[in-house]
Amino acid sequence: MIYQHIAGLIQKALDVQLIEPADKIYMRNQVMSLLGLETYPEDVQESDDTLSNLVEKIIAYAVEEKVIDNLYDDKEVLAANIMNCFVPRPSVVNTVFNQSYQESPNAATNYFYNLSINNNYIQQNRIAKNISYKSDTAYGQLDITINLSKPEKDPEQIKRERELKQTINYPKCLLCIENEGYAGRLGHPARANHRIINIPLLNENWYLQYSPYVYYNEHCILLSEEHRPMKINRKSFERLLSFTEKFPHYFIGSNADLPIVGGSILSHDHYQGGRYEFAMTRAENAFNFKLEGFPEIQASVLNWPMSVIRIRSKHMVSLVNAADKILLNWRNYTDENADVLAFTDDTPHNTITPIARNRNGILELDLVLRNNRTTDEHPLGIFHPHEDVHHIKKENIGLIEVMGLAVLPPRLKDELVDIKEFLLGNSGKVASYHQRWAEQLKLEYGKLSTNEQAESILREELGKKFVKCLQDAGVFKNRGGFERFITSLNSMESEYATKR
């Protein structure tokens, strides 16, 4: 069967135009070499399956024949090396991307996204395992995802990683450009089939790639050539808006640059974008306000569970200046009535999560106000999901969640089934941290009679929990807090003019 799988993989690569017919024998020999095969029979019947499934079957053969150990990293390395046989060199990928860009930005990203799927860098088989649905809330339809796309490591893999005395510092992190084509190793993911696109921005080299575990359509990452810490500043706004001018069909945003409210990788300057309309994109204005010194800017506060200022203009320089003014003010803003303190001694607490869009030539920035202060009552953060929702989500509220897409932990898949059975009266088995919630649901809805009814209620209630997570992360709980900040903002024009 292995020869049939190899033949099938080569045919699929031809079908999606990864290779040309003249490449067939060469590709076959490359894959055979990786599997330790020395001969190839005549008249092989091709396996008819998806590209991802064929790769999985070939890896299963390699494990069975002891070509590799049955370890997560070993399997990932071989799978990436096999697909790397079919992927053009980086120079070719960049050339085709730039040629496609001359047709349109849309054509360029279509080419690169399809390449990332067809070379199995974006592993659709795994992504398909995610549980995803939309939940109707007071803030519109939010996206709920239980992330099942990243396989759990087996005990032997974990043991080896613990025993390994890691002295290698290459690549420095998972986002460094040195990951392109890197074979991988124990504890560092395989990236042999990984490609990145050079995107110059403001006289710097930035690089576009897609997330291997896409959470939404065309989920991309824009990363700095230099390995340097994330920092939200004036340059950030300029880069984000410049990117939307180059790729107006993509939004792009940044995680905040402080612990607790920031992303998982703060050590490497990067942004995330893609072609997707989040609930926050569709959010209506709660109220408009004037931003002193910027008559050309449309400014508003969004009707959203987090604290968001939206500014819009046709003029990039004005928008950058306005965003910079808001950031500089917020960095030093204290409002004890809202539990917002800018500093504890010399430790800063205030920052911003920015998101940029280009809506038919109108540039738009959403500036989400963040504060990472902790207290004894809220040791994980005052403006972080509170303890009453930790049974659903305890992790940081990053850029993706800010915009209205919940990325929930894999444990919930089985735990929600247990709660459903509890609501149906079939079982009393519920995780202790869900017990109170499950009993509240049973008290409110009574004993449910059908699976469909129980699942519908759980999905609706999970959406409510996510809204509460976002509300907890909002720094202003009412309009009064926003109005105090806007008053402060509009009284500091002269100071801002000096700083800029």
Q: What does 101-163 look like in DSSP terms, one character per residue?
A: HHH-HHHHHHHHHHHHHHTTSS-HHHHTTSEEEEEEETTEEEEEEE---SPPPPHHHHHHHHH
134 and 63 inside one domain: no
Quote the pTM value. 0.94
Q: Work out the number of other CB atoms within 10 angstroms of the CB of residue 119.
A: 24
Q: Which helix (H) or strand (E) holds 237?
A: helix 234-246
CATH number at residue 336: 3.30.428
Q: Is 365 helix (H, G, I), strand (E, B) or coil?
A: strand
pLDDT band at residue 155 under the 50/70/90 scheme: low
132 and 33 inside one domain: no
175 and 246 inside one domain: yes
38 and 172 inside one domain: no
Task: Assess whether pLDDT exceeds 70 at residue 498.
Answer: no
- pLDDT, tens digit (0-9, with 9 covering 90-100), for 29-59: 999 999 999 999 999 999 999 999 999 999 9
Contact 476, 485 (CB under 8 A): yes
Is 447 a member of any domain? Answer: no
Cα-based torsion angle of the residue sequence 264, 270, 274, 280 in order, rounded to the nearest 10 degrees: 60
Q: Which of 51, 67, 83 is the last residue of a domain?
A: 67
Q: Which two tokens stand for residue 354?
A: 């920015």
Q: Which of 67, 90, 113 is the last residue of a domain?
A: 67
**What pLDDT is stored for residue 345 in this prediction?**
95
- pLDDT, tens digit (0-9, with 9 covering 90-100), for 192-221: 999 999 999 999 999 999 999 899 999 999
289 and 167 inside one domain: yes
Residue range of the domain that includes 8: 2-67
Is 365 a member of any domain? Answer: yes
189 and 288 inside one domain: yes
- pLDDT, tens digit (0-9, with 9 covering 90-100), for 81-130: 999 999 999 999 999 999 999 999 999 999 999 999 999 999 899 899 99
135 and 61 inside one domain: no
Contact 61, 47 (CB under 8 A): no
pLDDT band at residue 497 under the 50/70/90 scheme: very low
Is 413 a member of any domain? Answer: no
225 and 331 inside one domain: yes
26 and 147 inside one domain: no
133 and 45 inside one domain: no
- Residue written as token pair 């207290």: 375
381 and 234 inside one domain: yes
Q: Which two tokens stand for residue 59?
A: 């890896």
Q: Which two tokens stand for residue 266?
A: 């703060």
C-alpha 441/C-alpha 345 separation (Å) is: 44
Helical ranges in 291-411 per DSSP H: 316-331, 399-402
Is 187 a member of any domain? Answer: yes
Q: At what angle do helices 51-64 and 72-84 cross, to 10 degrees?
A: 130
Is 13 a member of any domain? Answer: yes
Q: Work out the number of other CB atoms within 10 angstroms of the CB of residue 226.
A: 12
C-alpha 272/C-alpha 240 separation (Å) is: 10
Is 386 a member of any domain? Answer: yes
Is 489 a member of any domain? Answer: yes
Instruction: Return the bridge partners of 327, or none.
Output: none
Total number of domains in the chain: 2
35 and 158 inside one domain: no
Is 58 a member of any domain? Answer: yes
Q: Which of 48, 67, 86 is the last residue of a domain?
A: 67
Identify the sign of the CA torsion 57, 61, 64, 70.
negative
